[in-house]
Structure 1
């Protein structure tokens, strides 16, 4: 198993947290990291060009990519297909967000979804508590997430 990671711009706190979490988890699970793609934005076309460049340079690709954005993941899948790689037979792709286009992507994208209304409500409550002086310490909040298995993932057994 060789896992790659794609995330958005490095100028955001979330980027460092995502990257660190990916690296620590890969180490703990003894999964070979093939490298990360740090996209300058969250555009499908950007992800398409990033992966296309790697393929054209003959880079050793992972058996799977984990993406922090469904939009980036869809761009990866399109690039793979453009270069005659099959998703998921040659490259699995899994993402986060479960946007409406994830279900209709080709192939339909495996993604992690959650109740984003609940996430927004929890964040709003925290901001209001901060403004009113009721929140003085950092707070953690747990939100239920769920894996939506679709057609963009497969076991790596048939890949080199």
Structure 2
């Protein structure tokens, strides 16, 4: 190596892969920054480098064929709760009725879960709309009563558009040998 030489130039000059240069010259660091001027380095193996002890080579990929499934999958039905009787005065032309939570359910903070504000949030409507569709509910203490069902959506609510952005996540950088 002469003053001013660098790994990339040596690799090009001798048609040598960087990994082979490192294998043949283990004293060279991983950034190739410790080359010494007026020093000889191995740039050509004696014989086939793949036969050298400790040299790793790429192996061919092994392909496995998955056996064909012979059983037919039949999903089980999903059990839904039976709709409770509607609360007094609840409108009859409602798109979605829901049962109030059962007092025996294991829901923590049951009174908060059965509040009109919780149900309005869940159904994507306002508390005022719930009160209009379910006159038995009180504006002062708006809580759904266990054992009753209520109108929580008078009409089908279109889903909100999902907003997303595609951000570049791939950095392209050139391999630099120092």
Query: Which protein has greater RCO, CA pairs closer than 8 Å, 6+ apart?
Result: 2
So what's the TM-score if we normalise by structure 1?
Answer: 0.21
More helix by share: 1
The structure whose Rg is larger is: 2
Structure that is richer in strand per residue: 1
Compute the TM-score of the two structures, normalised by the length of structure 2.
0.19
